């Protein structure tokens, strides 16, 4: 076929020598351009690039008039432009055509050098003389104006995440008051804000930004009232946060709030929390929306699931509306530091002053340095989804991302992550390229509206700030119209940018005034803070990188001191694969962005009682914060191993992988990895939020798949089974006494001697006490037999490596090994159980018993008592108390070298 270039492709700038295909073009297609005609060398995917002019060896490849790579050989018009990363990324995709065998350009980009001698300060836009308003919630103490009015329950650290979710869910279900909107029309809702940080035993390296972010949330103008929850035993506490806010001058006294400590039973604390929130409702409702100037709008500019058209349609549209808001006196906030590497020349074309330009460049260098401490390069940012949609490297992704600054808008300020925006203008905020982590910082800095540009169709929303989602192409908008607010693809179809911009500005005012965005109507949201990093300076990484990731898997020899009664059996489910303690349906999100949808699906499946007659006890989802926006290498190996460990867990009767669609660890990635392990992908279901048509469509598809797959499955018989069929984890928190250590050691011996499996995390305190006081009983080596999350293959006694002391992360790793249940001796605050694996919590510590005794499963460490409890749980005759109450969580470690990008 023959086409004029501009009917099937785009040149972002007139001088570009590569064009972006606006549709998939077959190899051999003839293209007419600039009085010449040429033929495409290969099939070109939509969003991918082909040469529109001859490019000589070593010459720059240009998009938006800026270089994103250099030719490694002469490139003829029509040649598919590709680098090695794109070829590698697409090679695991199920494509129906041949890719180029070798790359024709390299990613090497010359570092940007600021010419200070010729620097000229940027030009400021004149503010409009007329006023434009929205209906917002005015706040005292200089907090600004809210676009929403929420009551928030916030876990100060990851240790109280589950409590915060349970309390907010209880309130939303109407156990506080019903119906909320009718009784309190000025209250937009009650939501939880939870995160992954502050839960380890040591002070985190990100302590300053963590406190700054939580403080920013607390005084955010969209907050009508906030309950901040901790145990008081964490590395970060309410007292630390309160002291930080007072020291740094945050307007805490002007916020309805309470710092609440969990120090009794879970149910009592829930009731107390509900009583506090119930008492706030009238006060929060007493603040009505009033007419407010647009100068109080603060826009977070974000992109995620980007494609080749993000910088052509979506980002320029967001930039246009941001420009208008700034001209009315408002703010806009650009972020994602590593996604501006390679675009420095464009960003600094219009900047307030030389100092701001220097600070911007210093921020990029500081980000690169921190990433390098962990053995990575910030230039490795683009995800597999980005590659699939035409973003080959960080330079071309960054150039497109930078288009969220309109050329007429001056870069006024460079701020730290979550630092408050205190003056009108255009800001750049330091943050990782991880969308959700970046958004959290922008919200904490004061953003009360989010513009989220997406090429693939990301469904991201924040709990208490509305998100307007802008999709880059009409095709994606039509596919996901129920999940997107604005079709920027109309620009590619011929609608002028000014017309689209004015229409979106009207929508922005309407949403700021209370009209719900598409995401708010969908009712899901996510929060993730900039995660902690382990390295604080340059080190020799060779020992960490050279060590084998997987361990031997060989059990450690133990000497039984007492025989196990032969009558000790549990009531097992006899499946084709063996005796099991439970049978669940699992919806496994392949990344952070599909986690909430997986939860929605599990809830719906449980409501419909799918599989109940076939012995499925429940459906579970495992939402998490990983799979995208994080470094590769060892952290990705940990992630993939842990996910597959849960997918293949003995209690999973049927599992389905749910991708968002644009992540690094998409379905094809997981399919490729399990095939390498000799596991057939046909055993599992596969679904995609984006490619299956959005939230409603994918929820329906997954429910139908489970229903149809389970329809002919016969009921599972129940049989008696010995301990040789059982795999348990044994751990402890706080200081372990010699008596506790002896009991847990004997428990381990008895189960292992009966042919069962016991896995102990290397960070379990009782283990070190056991080694010190009973060396003749346990024959240990210093080397764990299992890596974090490594599936156990041989029965016996194992130690799992733990590159973390965060309890939830430890339990997540244990879950991936295949344990049926876990037992922990507790000193201090109780733990959040694993979502899939029941956690028995016992304590012989008097203070723990006094504070949390009603939630403990036993106050005895007697071995026979513990074995009896284990058998009851394995037989499904007893559910550990906190597990049954939903005090559960799931969180992966990134190991020693993982870092946000």
In 3D space, the residue among 544, 573, 706 whose CA is nearest the CA of residue 650 turns out to be: 573
For 838-867, write each residue's pLDDT tens digit.
999 999 999 999 999 999 999 999 999 999
Side by side, the strands of the sheet bearing 618-621 are 618-621, 584-589, 652-659, 685-688
Provide the pLDDT for residue 777. 44
Q: Report how far residue 820's alpha carbon sits from residue 839's, in angstroms, rounded to the nearest whole number.
A: 10
Between 62 and 565, name the one with better pLDDT. Answer: 62
For the chain, what is the largest distance between any 2 Cα atoms, rounded to a whole number of angstroms? 90
- Dihedral pair phi/psi, residue 310, rounded to 5°: -60, -40
Provide the pLDDT for residue 560. 55
Provide the pLDDT for residue 772. 56
Provide the pLDDT for residue 781. 52
Q: Report how far residue 339's alpha carbon sits from residue 433's, in angstroms, rounded to the nearest whole number.
A: 6
The number of beta carbons lying within 10 Å of the beta carbon of residue 27 is 14
- Dihedral pair phi/psi, residue 50, rounded to 5°: -135, 155
Between 4 and 179, name the one with better pLDDT. Answer: 4
Average pLDDT over residues 675-697: 96
- The answer to whether residues 338 and 432 touch, using CB atoms and an 8 Å cutoff, is yes
Q: Residue 177 pLDDT > 60, yes or no?
A: no
Q: How many residues does the chain have?
A: 901
Q: Report how far residue 429's alpha carbon sits from residue 421's, in angstroms, rounded to the nearest whole number.
A: 10
What's the number of CA atoms in the CB half-sphere (13 Å) around residue 299? 35
Provide the pLDDT for residue 386. 80
Average pLDDT over residues 612-632: 94
Helix, strand, coil percentages (3-state) for the chain, rounded to 5, are: 35, 20, 45
- The answer to whether residues 188 and 462 touch, using CB atoms and an 8 Å cutoff, is no
Provide the pLDDT for residue 562. 54
Q: What percent of the chain has a predicted confidence (pLDDT) above 70?
A: 97
Contact partners, residue 789, CB within 8 Å, separation at least 6: 638, 641, 642, 645, 812, 813, 816, 817
Provide the pLDDT for residue 516. 97
The number of beta carbons lying within 10 Å of the beta carbon of residue 581 is 24
pLDDT band at 729 (very low <50, low <70, confident <90, very high): very high
The SS3 assignment for 863 reads helix
pLDDT band at 776 (very low <50, low <70, confident <90, very high): very low
For 447-456, write each residue's pLDDT tens digit.
999 999 999 8
Provide the pLDDT for residue 771. 58
Provide the pLDDT for residue 851. 95
Q: Name the token pair of 547.
A: 């060590």
Provide the pLDDT for residue 780. 47
Provide the pLDDT for residue 35. 87
Q: Name the token pair of 480.
A: 């996901």
- The answer to whether residues 467 and 519 touch, using CB atoms and an 8 Å cutoff, is yes
Between 200 and 768, name the one with better pLDDT. Answer: 200
Q: What percent of the chain has a predicted confidence (pLDDT) above 90?
A: 86
E strands, 626-772, are 652-659, 685-688, 718-722, 727-732, 757-761
- 728 forms beta bridges with 758, 821
Average pLDDT over residues 519-542: 94
Which value, to the nearest 10 degrees, does the dihedral of the CA atoms of residues 409, 412, 416, 420 take?
A: -100
Q: Report how far residue 863's alpha carbon sits from residue 112's, in angstroms, rounded to the nearest whole number.
A: 66
Q: Name the token pair of 29.
A: 């297609």
- The answer to whether residues 469 and 518 touch, using CB atoms and an 8 Å cutoff, is yes
Provide the pLDDT for residue 125. 94
Mean pLDDT of the chain, nearest integer = 94
Q: Residue 273 pLDDT > 70, yes or no?
A: yes
Provide the pLDDT for residue 564. 53
For 18-33, write each residue's pLDDT tens digit.
999 999 999 999 999 9
Provide the pLDDT for residue 779. 47
For 233-262, write each residue's pLDDT tens digit.
999 999 999 999 999 999 999 999 999 999
Which value, to the nearest 10 degrees, does the dihedral of the CA atoms of residues 621, 624, 626, 628 take?
A: 70
pTM above 0.75, yes or no: yes
- The answer to whether residues 193 and 154 touch, using CB atoms and an 8 Å cutoff, is yes
Q: At what angle do helices 207-218 and 435-444 cross, to 10 degrees?
A: 60
pLDDT band at 311 (very low <50, low <70, confident <90, very high): very high
Q: Name the token pair of 356.
A: 């701001």
Provide the pLDDT for residue 176. 47
The SS3 assignment for 448 reads coil
For 340-384, write each residue's pLDDT tens digit.
998 999 999 999 999 999 999 999 999 999 999 999 987 766 777
Provide the pLDDT for residue 773. 53
Q: Report how far residue 356's alpha carbon sits from residue 353's, in angstroms, rounded to the nearest whole number.
A: 5
The SS3 assignment for 138 reads strand
Q: Name the token pair of 611.
A: 């599989």
């Amino acid at each position: 076929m023959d086409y004029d270039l501009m009917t099937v492709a785009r040149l972002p700038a007139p001088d570009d020598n590569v064009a972006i295909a606006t549709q998939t073009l077959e190899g051999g297609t003839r293209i007419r351009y600039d009085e010449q005609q040429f033929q495409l060398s290969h099939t070109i995917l939509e969003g991918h690039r082909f040469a529109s002019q001859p490019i000589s060896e070593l010459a720059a490849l240009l998009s938006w008039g800026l270089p994103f790579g250099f030719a490694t050989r002469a490139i003829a018009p029509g040649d598919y432009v590709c680098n090695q990363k794109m070829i590698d990324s697409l090679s695991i995709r199920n494509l129906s055509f041949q890719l180029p065998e070798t790359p024709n350009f390299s990613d090497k980009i010359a570092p940007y050098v600021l010419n200070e001698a010729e620097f000229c300060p940027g030009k400021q836009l004149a503010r409009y003389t007329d006023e434009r308003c929205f209906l917002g919630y005015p706040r005292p103490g200089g907090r600004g104006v809210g676009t929403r009015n929420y009551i928030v329950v916030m876990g100060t650290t990851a240790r109280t995440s589950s409590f915060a979710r349970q309390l907010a869910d209880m309130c939303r279900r109407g156990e506080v008051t019903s119906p909320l909107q009718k009784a309190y029309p000025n209250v937009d809702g009650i939501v939880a804000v939870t995160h992954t940080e502050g839960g380890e035993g040591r002070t985190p390296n990100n302590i300053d930004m963590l406190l700054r972010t939580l403080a920013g949330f607390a005084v955010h103008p969209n907050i009508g009232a906030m309950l901040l929850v901790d145990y008081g035993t964490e590395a970060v506490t309410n007292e630390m946060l309160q002291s930080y806010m007072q020291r740094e001058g945050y307007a805490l006294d002007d916020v309805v709030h309470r710092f609440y400590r969990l120090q009794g039973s879970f149910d009592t604390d829930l009731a107390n929390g509900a009583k506090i929130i119930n008492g706030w409702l009238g006060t929060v409702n007493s603040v009505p929306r009033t007419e407010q100037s647009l100068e109080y709008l603060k826009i977070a500019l974000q992109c995620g699931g980007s494609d080749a058209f993000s910088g052509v349609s979506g980002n320029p549209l967001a930039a246009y509306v941001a420009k208008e808001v700034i001209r009315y006196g408002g703010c806009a906030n650009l972020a994602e530091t590593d996604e501006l590497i390679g675009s420095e020349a464009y960003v600094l074309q219009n900047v307030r002053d030389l100092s701001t330009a220097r600070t911007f460049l210093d921020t990029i260098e500081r980000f690169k340095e921190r990433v390098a401490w962990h053995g990575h390069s910030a230039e490795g940012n683009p995800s597999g989804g980005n590659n699939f949609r035409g973003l080959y490297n960080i330079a071309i992704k960054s150039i497109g991302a930078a288009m969220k600054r309109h050329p007429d808008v001056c870069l006024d300020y460079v701020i730290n992550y979550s630092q408050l925006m205190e003056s009108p203008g255009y800001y750049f905020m330091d943050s990782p390229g991880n969308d959700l982590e970046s958004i959290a910082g922008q919200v904490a800095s004061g953003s009360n509206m989010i513009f989220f540009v997406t090429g693939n169709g990301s469904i991201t929303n924040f709990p208490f700030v509305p998100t307007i989602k802008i999709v880059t192409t009409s095709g994606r908008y039509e596919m996901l119209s129920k999940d997107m607010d604005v079709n920027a693809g109309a620009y590619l179809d011929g609608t002028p940018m000014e017309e689209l911009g004015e229409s979106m500005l009207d929508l922005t005012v309407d949403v700021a005034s209370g009209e719900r965005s598409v995401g708010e109507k969908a009712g899901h949201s996510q929060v993730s803070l900039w995660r902690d990093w382990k390295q604080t300076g340059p080190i020799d990484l060779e020992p960490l990188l050279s060590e084998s990731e997987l361990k031997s898997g060989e059990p450690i020899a133990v000497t039984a001191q007492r025989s196990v009664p032969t009558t000790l059996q549990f009531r097992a489910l006899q499946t084709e694969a063996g005796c099991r303690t439970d049978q669940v349906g699992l919806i496994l999100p392949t990344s952070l962005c599909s986690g909430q949808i997986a939860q929605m699906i599990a809830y719906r499946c449980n409501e419909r009682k799918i599989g109940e007659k076939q012995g499925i006890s429940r459906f579970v989802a495992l939402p998490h914060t990983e799979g995208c926006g994080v470094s590769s290498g060892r952290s990705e190996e940990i992630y993939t191993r842990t996910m597959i460990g849960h997918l293949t867990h003995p209690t999973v009767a049927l599992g389905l992988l749910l991708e968002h669609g644009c992540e690094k660890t998409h379905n094809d990635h997981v399919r490729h990895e399990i095939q390498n392990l000799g596991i057939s992908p046909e055993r599992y279901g596969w679904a995609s939020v984006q490619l299956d048509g959005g939230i409603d469509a994918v929820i329906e598809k997954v429910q139908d798949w489970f229903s149809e797959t389970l329809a002919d499955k016969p009921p599972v018989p129940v049989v008696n089974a010995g301990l040789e069929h059982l795999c348990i984890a044994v751990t402890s928190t706080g200081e372990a006494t010699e008596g506790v250590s002896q009991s847990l050691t004997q428990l381990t011996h008895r189960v292992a001697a009966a042919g069962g499996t016991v896995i102990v995390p290397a960070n379990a305190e009782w283990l070190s006490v056991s080694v010190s006081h009973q060396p003749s009983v346990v024959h240990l080596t210093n080397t764990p037999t299992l890596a974090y999350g490594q599936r156990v293959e041989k029965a016996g006694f194992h130690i799992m490596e733990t590159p973390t002391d965060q309890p939830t992360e430890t339990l997540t790793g244990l879950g991936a090994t295949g344990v049926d249940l876990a037992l922990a001796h507790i000193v201090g605050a109780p733990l959040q159980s694993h979502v899939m694996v029941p956690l028995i919590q016992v304590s012989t510590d008097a203070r723990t018993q006094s504070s949390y005794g009603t939630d403990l499963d036993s106050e005895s460490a007697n071995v026979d008592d513990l074995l009896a409890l284990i058998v009851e749980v394995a037989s499904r005759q007893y559910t550990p108390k906190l597990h049954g109450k939903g005090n559960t969580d799931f969180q992966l470690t990134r190991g020693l070298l993982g870092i946000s990008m």
